[in-house]
């Protein structure tokens, strides 16, 4: 799990985050800073590339746009909130945003339509607990947790009650059709190939 390496007693904001060195990757959740190092593995990067390509080519002509980490996603209760009060900024591996008003020069300001996190042994607990809860609180409609070793994807959909239900699980021989992005389907044989 990523460790909060900055002083645990501090309450960090997006304004603080903007002053940190560009060569360090951090996320802030509810004012707590988490170091996002070391760099991802080769398997992680292959899956990231394959997923991004498979989705992005199908977005041509649609109002949705795909972004890859590092790309800041600022999550707050108020889209107009000052940087001094935004206490959550994350960098999911892949996001798809279909509302162009959420995209600005600094990233995404608001909940993406689709978030994809590729799990690693060092971050899986953090992703499946902290970040899953965060995405639920901020009404991200669909999140994918990709398991490189198992070659599976767990997908959580936001229910009418504002909570994620039980995940749908897909194996490497299946095709995934996201509910949050129309006209896209992903053949997982293309994703988990080397």
| Domain-located, residue 125 | yes
Averaged over 92-103, what is the pLDDT?
96
| Domain-located, residue 118 | yes
The total number of structural domains in the chain stands at 1
Cα separation values, 185 from 64, 112, 179, Å: 14, 18, 10
* Token output for 36: 């996002």
Residue 118 vs residue 76, higher pLDDT: 118
Predicted pLDDT at 121: 83
| Domain-located, residue 183 | yes
Question: Do 137 and 30 contact (CB within 8 A), yes or no?
Answer: no
Q: CATH no. for residue 164?
A: 3.90.1570.10
pLDDT digit string, tens, across residues 11-37: 899 999 999 988 888 999 999 998 886
| Domain-located, residue 47 | yes
Averaged over 32-57, what is the pLDDT?
90
Q: Which of 67-94 are b and which e, b meaning 16 or more Cβ less than 10 Å from the residue's Cβ?
A: bbbebbbbbbeeeeeeeeebbbbbbbbb
* Token output for 158: 């936001």
pLDDT digit string, tens, across residues 69-88: 999 999 987 777 888 889 99
How many other C-beta atoms can be found within 10 angstroms of the C-beta atom of residue 131? 21
Predicted pLDDT at 8: 56
Domain with 139 in it? 40-191
């Amino acid at each position: 799990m990523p460790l909060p390496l900055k002083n645990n007693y501090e309450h960090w904001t997006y304004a603080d985050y903007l002053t940190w060195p560009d060569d360090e990757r951090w996320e802030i959740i509810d004012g707590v800073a988490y170091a996002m190092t070391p760099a991802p593995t080769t398997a992680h990067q292959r899956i990231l590339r394959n997923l991004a390509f498979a989705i992005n080519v199908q977005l041509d002509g649609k109002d949705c746009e795909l972004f890859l980490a590092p790309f800041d996603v600022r999550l707050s209760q108020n889209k107009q909130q000052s940087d001094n009060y935004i206490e959550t900024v994350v960098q999911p591996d892949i996001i798809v945003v279909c509302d162009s008003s959420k995209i600005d020069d600094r990233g995404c300001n608001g909940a993406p339509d689709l978030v994809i996190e590729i799990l690693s042994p060092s971050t899986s607990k953090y992703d499946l607990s902290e970040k899953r809860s965060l995405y639920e609180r901020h009404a991200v409609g669909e999140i994918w947790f990709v398991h490189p070793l198992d070659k599976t994807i767990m997908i959580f959909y936001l229910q009418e009650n504002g909570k994620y239900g039980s995940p749908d699980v897909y194996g490497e021989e299946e095709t995934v059709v996201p509910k949050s992005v129309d006209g896209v389907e992903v053949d997982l044989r293309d994703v988990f190939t080397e």
